[in-house]
Amino acid sequence: MNIDLRIVVGFVLGGGLAAVSAPLFRATLKTAPKRPHYIAIVVAAAVVGAAAAVWPPSLVAAGALLAMIGVPAAAVDVVEHRVPDRLTAPLAVGVAITLVTAALITDSVPSLTMALVGAVVWGGVLLVSFVLTGDPGPGDVKLAPSLGMLLGWLGWKWLLTGIVGSYLLAALLAGLGLLVKRWSLRDGRMPLAPPMLAATVLSATLAA
């Protein structure tokens, strides 16, 4: 299957995974969801699916989990400025299971070791920041290991690219938020989960 067809198939299948991500979003959201929220989730899941279609086969299942669970987690962060434990916990377990399985099938123990290192590094960076400054939120700290595992599997270069990229995207998002007066840096309402997820997907896609 050529790469263009893989992207199209991934886009369609990713959009189909919104059948899971949309109900998860609704179930974890404390306020009433609106139609634009669902549209954004379908589009985001489709984009993640399209990106994951070109990733190494060992990461495709993890990419599907990002579309199903990571997307609604980021969406809740946008709407309510929190990342629910009900989503970060199963995402972490799911990504870990997919990578352990991939390592057993492909005999990729070094990659699995780096995945674990990636989880510790990204999670540790945010945990230290949270302890010292109170930012980012605890939900972002709990989301980081899942994303760190995925990028760690690909190596230090892509792990660091994802971490740095998440902050760059967050800065861009904060600037746009200030322009439209939707978020304030002073009240700490700028969601970090979306740029973290976007940087992870972008880094993994560039690595492919």
Share above pLDDT 90 across residues of the chain, in percent, rounded to a whole number: 75
Tens-digit pLDDT profile for residues 70-125: 999 999 999 999 999 999 999 999 999 999 999 999 999 999 999 999 999 999 99
Long-range CB pairs of 164-172, under 8 A, 24+ apart, other chains included: 165/195, 165/199, 165/202, 165/203, 166/192, 166/195, 166/196, 166/198, 166/199, 166/200, 167/195, 168/195, 168/199, 169/194, 169/195, 169/198, 169/199, 170/195, 170/196
At residue 187, does pLDDT exceed 60?
no
For residues 182 and 78, is the Cβ–Cβ distance under 8 A? no
Tell me, what's the pLDDT at 178? 66
Domain coordinates in residue numbering, the chain: 3-207
